Amino acid sequence: MADETHAKAPESGASGSQQAASGPGAGPRAGGPRPGGGPGGRGKFFRRKKVCKFCTEKIDAIPYRDVRLLQQFVAERGKIVPRRLTGVCTTHQRRLTRAIKQARNIALLPFATRH
C-alpha cells in the first residue's frame, strides 16, 4: 500500500509541471502576428454588412404566432439573440422582442431549455 502511494505522487507532480509549462503564451506562435491581420492590417476575410431581414422583405408587423420565424432569433438556451448578431434594425428588434415575449407568455416558445 505504501508503495502505491509513493508511485502515484511523482506522476501527479510531473503532470503539474507540464501544466505550468503549457500556459496561454507557451504555444508555437506565442508572440507572432495573427493570420487574419491585426490593427491597421488588411484581414483575409471580408465581413459583409448585415441587412435587416424584415426591411428587405418589407414586413411591418411581426406576428407572435409565427413560431418558425421567431425561433430564428432565439438561441438554444432561450435567450433573444442581440441585433449585432442577427443584423435586424432597431425598430424591428423592438417589435421582434415584443413578439417573442408574447409567444412565450402563451406558451408557443419556451422561456428556457431544460438541462
How far apart CA 11 and CA 17 sit, in angstroms, is: 10
Global pTM reads: 0.60
Domain covering 62-115: architecture: Irregular (4.10)
Q: How would residue 72 be classed by pLDDT, with cut points 50, 70 and 90?
A: very high
Phi, psi of 27, deg, nearest 5: -75, 175
Residue-range domain boundaries for the chain: 62-115
Per-residue pLDDT reduced to its tens digit, 18-50: 555 555 655 565 665 655 555 666 667 777 888
Q: Find, among 85, 86, 28, 80, the residue nearest to 54 by Cα.
A: 86
> Residues 6 or more apart from 35 whose CB is under 8 A from it?
44
**Model pLDDT, residue 3:** 57
How far apart CA 91 and CA 54 sit, in angstroms, is: 10
